[in-house]
Every structure is written in C-alpha cells, then in structure tokens.
C-alpha cells in the first residue's frame, strides 16, 4: 500500500518526538513514510521532496522541527497538500521558539500547527484528514476514539472506587 502520509523531520534528533506520529498511524493502519530533510542543510532535496509529494500519492505531510523551525513552512510554500507542523522542544527556549516559528506563517502559506512535541496529535490530525475520503481509516479512527472514551470512563470508575490517594499511589508504581 502506498504511503499516504510523510513524516519529515529536520534532524535525527527529532526522531524520538516524531515517532509518536508513526506509532498512532501504525495503530490506525495509515501507511506512511519517514524522512530526515533540512531546509537549511539540504534545501534543494527538501524542496524536491515537497514538490513531488502529491505525485507520489501522499495526502498529508507532517513536518517537525526545532529552533528556527523553517521546515514546515518551506514545505508548505511549494505544495498544495496539507502540512501539519510539529514544534520540537529546544534546550534554550523549551520549544517556544519552534512553536512561534511554525504558527506565524504569512498569509497564503498555511501550516496546521500542533503543540510543542505534539507529534501524536499530528498523526491523529493526518488520519482525520485521510478519514474524510477513506472509510477504513474512518472506521479505525472511530474505534480509536471509542477506546479512548472507554479508558477514561474506567479510570474514573476506579478513582471513585479507591479514592484519589490510593489511585495516585498505584499510578506512581
């Protein structure tokens, strides 16, 4: 099955965060491809990837970057596919620099932006976009959301049964 989502990161140091998008796409059975590309270090290759993404069958691009975080915007500037930006936390500014760089795109170059290190939500958003035209992904997404609901209701029931102190103590184990 052809990948429908590309998970792109500016550096291999972003892989741990970006793996959360891959995990949720695996769970929802959405085919994807991962790539390490850099707007600053391999600008031409990054632009070529983004320009050819639609032709290759991708439907959504997820781009994670830290610091100047130019990757999502540079990709969005050369494609008509939806781009989801994931700001990666940095040591110096804890990801606020990344968040502001990604979310403050100029008019005409939209990038949907999730929270700092929010790759899981980026994967879910990509799946939701694909679910608008893929019934099997829509079904998997509905089941995922139902399981989330059931998990919360079970936790609530347990909290009421054992009380907050015991619940917290057991959670810390």
Annotated binding site for substrate: 11, 14, 41
Annotated binding site: 11, 14, 41
87: enclosing H helix or E strand: strand 83-88
Q: DSSP letter at 1? A: -
Q: DSSP letter at 156? A: H
| Contact status, residue 140 vs residue 14, Cβ threshold 8 Å | no
Alpha-carbon distance 115 to 96, whole Å?
10
Q: SS3 of 33, please?
A: strand
């Amino acid at each position: 099955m052809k990948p429908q989502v590309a998970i792109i990161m500016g550096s291999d140091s972003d892989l741990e965060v970006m793996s959360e998008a891959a995990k949720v796409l695996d769970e929802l059975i959405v085919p994807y491809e991962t790539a390490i590309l850099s707007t600053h270090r391999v600008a031409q290759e990054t632009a070529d990837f983004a320009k050819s993404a639609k032709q290759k069958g991708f439907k959504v691009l997820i781009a994670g970057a830290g610091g100047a975080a130019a990757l999502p915007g540079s990709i969005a500037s050369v494609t008509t596919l939806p781009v989801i930006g994931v700001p990666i936390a940095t040591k110096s500014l804890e990801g606020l620099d990344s968040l502001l760089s990604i979310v403050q795109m100029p008019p005409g170059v939209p990038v949907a932006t999730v929270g700092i290190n929010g790759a899981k939500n980026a994967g879910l958003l990509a799946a939701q976009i694909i679910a608008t035209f893929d019934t099997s992904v829509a079904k998997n997404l509905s089941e995922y959301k139902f399981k989330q609901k059931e998990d919360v209701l079970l936790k609530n029931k347990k909290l009421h049964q054992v009380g907050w102190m015991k619940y917290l103590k057991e959670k810390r184990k």
